[in-house]
Structure formats: structure tokens, C-alpha cells
Amino acid sequence: MFLTPGDLEALWLTARLAGCVTLILLVLGTPIAWWLARSEAWWKGPVTAVVALPLVLPPSVLGFYLLLAMGPQGVVGQLTQALGIASLPFTFGGLVVASVCYSLPFMVQPLQTAFESLGERPLEVAATLRASPLDAFFSVAIPLARPGFITAMVLTFAHTVGEFGVVLMIGGNLPGITRVASVQIYDHVEALDYLQAHRLAAVMLLFSFVALLVLYTWRRPQKMGGMT
């Protein structure tokens, strides 16, 4: 067999994690991006900076704070315990929470750019046709911003697939629960099993290339279609 059962399990786990994170961020990130694209509040600057933080922070910083915050003495840990949930490190839920923080800018930034490039006109036109703001958002803004949504979702998914440092720091390396593909490759290398590391790494390389290829070939006709 080309990949071991452990490798397949890690890949499946990675796909589930990236899928969950993409869906959650779609719901969380869209209103944030919409607000950032249209607000003129003074605290837009600080919010933009907070959203962009994971782009510049080392994963070890995120992993360190998450490990402390989600532990039994941490703020998040106290909250989850009060809610009757066991602590989040070493669980799939913990990885989802961590990855949502880690991948947030990859969802928000492309959406924000897409919303900004819409301008005021389409929404004003919709308003004169008596569309409520919510109606205008769903039937005008979202369809027009579709290329932005595709970019945001592909980048969020692919970036979550590529996550390593944070899951290494809070995951506990549990097969089927927190041992994602990037950690599995690391384990193969540490265990000096280079052949298996090569095989899984090649799968990841191919996936990343295809994801980006799809993204860049898809976007071009979309843009032209929008202009005609």
C-alpha cells in the first residue's frame, strides 16, 4: 500500500478539520469582512490589526497562549469547564478553535477586498428598488462577491491543511483526533522513516499545488465575466 492506514487516517482528519474550520469561518468571517469593508468607526483600525495578527505571529505564540488559556487554570478552560465540557487541548474541538484563530485572516481579507471593490452603487440601486439591506446583501452583494468567497474558502481550507506549529503545541499527537497530516509527516521524519514521509509529503505537495492551480485558473474567467 502506498500510504499506511495511519497516513490515511491523518489525511481524513486533516480534511475534516479544514472543512469544519472553513464553514465556521465562512459564518464568522463574512460579517466581520462586511463590517470592515463599510465601517468608518475609529476602531476599524484596531479590529483590522487583530484580524491580521495570525499572519505575523509565530504559531508557537498562538500555541503557547492557547495551551495556557484552554488549560484548567486558563480563561477559556474555566469557561468550558463551567459549561460541562472537558478542557479543549488534545481534542478535535480544541484543534477547530485553534485553527479558526489561526486561519481567520485567510477568510476575512479576501472577502473584505471583494466587498470593498463592489462600491456603493449596486447597493444603492438595490435600495431604490426597495430591497431591504439584508435582501440587498444576500441577493446583490454576495453574488457579486462570489470570486472573493471562492478565494477566501480555498485559502482558508488550504492554510488549515498546512497548519503545523499550533497543532503540535496543543494537539498531543493523538491518532484520529489531533494527529493531522503535517504532524504525521513530522513523526515519520523523527522516526527516521523517510520513505513514508516522502509519500505523505508528496500527497500534500500535490494537494497544495492543485488547490492553488484551481484558484488561479478559476479566478481569471470570473473576473472577466464580472466586467462584461
Partner 1 sequence: MSVLLLSLSLPAHAEKITIAAAADLKFALDEMIAAFPLNPSTDEVAVTYGSSGKFFTQIQQGAPFDLYFSADIALPRTLAKNGFAASDVTPYAVGRLVLWSAHRDAAKMTLASLTDPQITRIAIANPQHAPYGQRAEEALRAADVWPQIAPKLVYGENIAQAAQFVQTGNAQVGLIALSLALSPPLASQGGYWLIPDTLHQPLEQGFIITRRAANSALAHRFADYLRTPSARAVLARYGFALPGEAVVK
Tell me how far, at minimum, the Cβ of 69 lies from partner 1, in Å: 10
DSSP for residue 85: P
C-alpha span between 105 and 10 (Å, rounded): 25
Least separation in angstroms between CB 13 and partner 1: 15
The answer to whether 203 and 211 have CB atoms below 8 angstroms apart is no
Binding mask 65-104 for partner 1 (x = CB under 8 A): --xx-xxxx------------xx-xx--------------
State the nearest-atom distance from the C-beta of 199 to partner 1, in Å: 17
Closer by beta carbon to partner 1, 86 or else 202: 86
Using CA atoms, how far apart are residues 58 and 165, in angstroms rounded to an integer?
A: 8
Residue list 148-207, contact with partner 1 (CB under 8 A)? 168-169, 172-174, 187, 189-192
Task: Return all residues near 30 (Cβ < 8 A) that are at least 6 apart.
Answer: 111
Q: How many CB atoms lie within 10 A of CB 125?
A: 12
Residues lying near partner 1 in the complex (CB under 8 A) are found at 67-68, 70-73, 86-87, 89-90, 168-169, 172-174, 187, 189-192
